[in-house]
Amino acid sequence: MNEISLAIRVLVALLFLTAALGKFRHRLVFQGVVANYRLLPEIAVPAFALVLPPVEIAVAAALLFVPSSWPAVCAAALLILFAVAMGINIQRGRRHIDCGCFQSALKQTLSWILVARNTGLALLLAVPATVPEGGLSPSGAAEALLTGTVLFVLLQSMNVLWSVGPAWRQRRPTTTGAEK
């Protein structure tokens, strides 16, 4: 495993861990988010909402501690599944619902940016899925861990900005031609 591969694993593992913790903390809200997607039969919603956070934690742990390609493949599959679910609802005109990402304290409504984010992360996971296993020096591992963590913080910051932007635009006073 090289430094880039480990950095990507750390980035995605931290994303899955924080998302899973948010879903655990807000179990009932998350169940409502799953129901709002209108993709599962009503009877399956509670089970899916209960099972997904432990699956995300397992995938995150595997990304960090299992030196094989399957954790990256599983993480990419989840990200694509989430992107497809968002895309279906955007196409249905249901942009107003919360994405269920739980990546910030603010709710994020569905957008093509979120679909692109998930797709991009899934594509990034091709690196750890295809890079041959190999040892890293302690300094290389430290650099990779730090890089992955910094990328995670940057992505979280962008998530907050994406969440705040629409709310800020809605509250900003508008000017009309008569006021100019």
pTM over 0.85: no
pLDDT tens digit sequence for 35-74: 999 999 999 999 999 999 999 999 999 999 988 899 999 9
User: Which letter does DSSP use for residue 93 in this model?
Assistant: T
Angle of helix 70-91 versus helix 27-37 axis, rounded to 10: 60
Q: Mention every residue, 6+ apart, whose C-beta is less than 8 A from residue 38.
A: 89, 92, 94
